[in-house]
Structure 1
């Protein structure tokens, strides 16, 4: 058996262990209930152990499994603290770490992509990877003209691994649902699958990054590294340093947290208007805070193409919810197909459901916390809750799915940062349809 199929089999076996492990814990939980322990205590233990196994498995993998783990990591802030604590560190590792490939393999890919004389294109090349990603790893080097560069090299067989892993993960969406309260996992997985398959050709990512770099050239708040060279499986960009947001989340001072949160929110809402693109891979491993106070943005493989900026419908919807205009809000949702034909909803129920989501816009500055996000997740995830019933009656049109997922992901990072952010002013400036 060749190396790539063997690894694919190993990945499949690890992923297959997830539902088996969950089943065993559920059966064990029944036994503990019979032994007199409360259902709440047992359910908390089962959920914690499920999460621990999921992230332990995802942490060993590359390809689609790791990519999903990275996307999942931003939802950690929505998980109750007593469940999140056992695997919070595993989530952080998913954002930046994966096992490295041997130097000889790296050299082979570079020769295939840049030509047999690839060494001459660099003044220096460090064989030890500086960072790893889901489908490739990054090496620090010096380009032939003296520029410090980052060289992203795709893992051989990453395309097969990505497709196989995403296919397996779609089968396990119910298992993963257990650790993402308030979120629909299967549509998220399907959308991630479509987006991540686009990332396999680094030339596409390079094109996206060039657009962002041009749009933010000279910006006082955001730095996007310029692209130096690209091929299908190798991309060379200018090197940039900074403190990863995962470090700020773990041990940052208040000033650092608030600055990172403000810059991230500004980038998220302004990018579509400035570049016609939305950065669609929001997790802390893709952002750094530079010594100059600017946000460094990395990894442009996944984007949403929004040539006209963010849809005005979202701004108007937010404004109506903020102003409590329940009848107008219901009519807008119905006309824009957020409510399926034939579905009856009371206008006040819709306002009650959406109102708390716009709470960050009610004051000049909002304090994003895990507790706030946990409250929202519990509110919409509890099947007994009226808000949950309303949410299940609403529909998210396909053209808004990616924007919704990215906004939710960015919000998750803000809550992990515990940041105070002038959200109202940022949204008022950059979100069409919201104007005060």
Structure 2
């Protein structure tokens, strides 16, 4: 159970400052002490440092909630170990570190129920028993803005109730004022993310998540888009029970992401294709999509459908932006470098006098999105998303100097968030598919080549005739 959430800018800044200092000292100590260590001593010392670092990050950011915790969730999806000079750590150590950070997605410290009850009863203007026939006081999930509880309505239906932390709106405004400190924290732990447009875009839109009525609108939009889908399930939303700080939806039971990871390869591959179709497919086909693909928002229901949760971070892309994404993908997939560079310059991503050559543009897109551009079956490694993101900002990759000053429009920064977040999930699943053949349904409007694709095409056809 967490202590009170710090709300003031000063208190939250102090918490971040201590965490930044602790990580810097720990990283420097490991670097200095390992010089004289034997290999066994180096591994043992680094493992202790990683365990302590993960514990600190989860404890501090998880207790702070808000934008600070959201930054931690983003970090948990990528490879942070370079900050400790740990590129050669055995898989067991890397897995332990990432597993600890993954707790930020749905297992962070809880706020006591008596404080959460006050939010519910204040928003409804009546006692909790007058709204729900049953209410389990033990949360089933803890996120950056609120906690989720299991409850039952008077008619017997089981529901999930997401309740906003008291005062979290004040905390988020404080975090936005402390954005420089948050960026410094990210830079110290994962430099690749610190100055990336993706992080700027997430922080810009994070304040929009405070009002759950906006999330309820997004939820209804996605639920209607995927009504009666053959393998994607969006829980029904109880509109009349949703307020600014309370969100009520159908309760979906199923396997959590860490349980899905333990399934046989064929089942993980199937889930992986569904994740791609939901997150990337929604963006390219529907132009409306959720911008928060992370493990805590995914369940595998007993009927085999994948249920998607949490639509606070939501984006609409206009047709011009989507057409640009598709044109770049086609040019890169067909190795038309000159056309690709012209597209980037005409759209304003590249300055007309940029030193980036057509060949460099091609190589960069294949390095960051090759899994979608290559016509071959690819099993996604766990570090794929981190490597894709690092390509933009790691000077050793050879792109940094030419791309550091280029401009990524907000909608495309968000699109990259969805792409990298999906890739990170596929890496955790070690999922395999010919991802390019699936993506050709959107790139070229080709007929589907997979069983799931055929099911989805039939569903889309039936929706078109309604």
Name the residue aligned to 1:402.
414
Q: TM-score, normalised by structure 2?
A: 0.82
The answer to whether 1:215 aligns with 2:246 is no
The answer to whether 1:384 aligns with 2:396 is yes
Q: TM-score, normalised by structure 1?
A: 0.87
1:188 aligned counterpart, secondary structure? helix
Alignment of 1:221-232 (within 5 A): 221-228=231-238, 229-232=241-244
Q: CA deviation at 1:373?
A: 4.3
The CA distance in 1 between the partners of 2:144 and 2:279, in whole Å, is 22
Q: 2:298 aligns with which of 263, 268, 287?
A: 287
The answer to whether 1:73 aligns with 2:83 is no
Task: Specify whether residues 100 and 260 from structure 1 end up closer, same or farther in structure 2 by C-alpha distance, changes over 3 A only.
Answer: same
Q: 1:137 aligns with which of 125, 147, 160?
A: 147
Q: CA deviation at 1:77?
A: 8.7
Q: Is the 8 A contact 1:273 1:310 kept in 2?
A: no
Of 57-66 and 168-177, deviating more is: 168-177
Q: Is the 8 A contact 1:15 1:168 kept in 2?
A: no
Q: 1:120 aligns with which of 110, 125, 130?
A: 130
Alignment of 1:232-311 (within 5 A): 232-249=244-261, 251-272=262-283, 276-306=287-317, 308=319, 311=322
Name the residue aligned to 2:359.
348
- What's the Cα RMSD here? 3.2
Alignment of 1:306-321 (within 5 A): 306=317, 308=319, 311-321=322-332
Q: CA deviation at 1:397?
A: 2.2
Q: CA deviation at 1:379?
A: 4.7
The CA distance in 2 between the partners of 1:144 and 1:310, in whole Å, is 46
Alignment of 1:31-42 (within 5 A): 31-32=32-33
Task: Specify whether residues 161 and 431 from structure 1 end up closer, same or farther in structure 2 by C-alpha distance, changes over 3 A only.
Answer: farther
The answer to whether 1:327 aligns with 2:338 is yes
Q: CA deviation at 1:183?
A: 3.6
Q: 1:197 aligns with which of 207, 210, 214?
A: 207
Q: Deviations over 1:316-342 (max 9, x none)?
A: 111111111111111111111110243
Q: CA deviation at 1:26?
A: 5.6
Q: Is the 8 A contact 2:78 2:386 kept in 1?
A: no
1:291 aligned counterpart, secondary structure? coil
The CA distance in 2 between the partners of 1:336 and 1:182, in whole Å, is 25
Alignment of 1:164-183 (within 5 A): 164-180=174-190, 182-183=192-193
Q: Is the 8 A contact 1:96 1:133 kept in 2?
A: yes
Q: Is the 8 A contact 1:319 1:434 kept in 2?
A: no
Runs of 5+ consecutive residues of structure 1 not aligned to the other structure: none
Name the residue aligned to 2:14.
13
Q: Is the 8 A contact 1:269 1:431 kept in 2?
A: no
Task: Specify whether residues 5 and 411 from structure 1 end up closer, same or farther in structure 2 by C-alpha distance, changes over 3 A only.
Answer: closer
Q: Deviations over 1:330-386 (max 9, x none)?
A: 111111111024323222122222223342232253211125445545554441332
Q: Deviations over 1:129-188 (max 9, x none)?
A: 122111111111111222111111111001111222344353242442244354444643
Q: CA deviation at 1:245?
A: 1.7
Q: Deviations over 1:82-103 (max 9, x none)?
A: 2844521222111102222333
Alignment of 1:147-158 (within 5 A): 147-158=157-168
Q: Is the 8 A contact 1:77 1:416 kept in 2?
A: no
The CA distance in 2 between the partners of 1:11 and 1:412, in whole Å, is 29
The CA distance in 1 between the partners of 2:260 and 2:357, in whole Å, is 43
- Size of the alignment, in residue pairs? 430
Q: CA deviation at 1:278?
A: 1.0
> Higher RCO, 1 or 2 (CA under 8 Å, sep at least 6)?
1
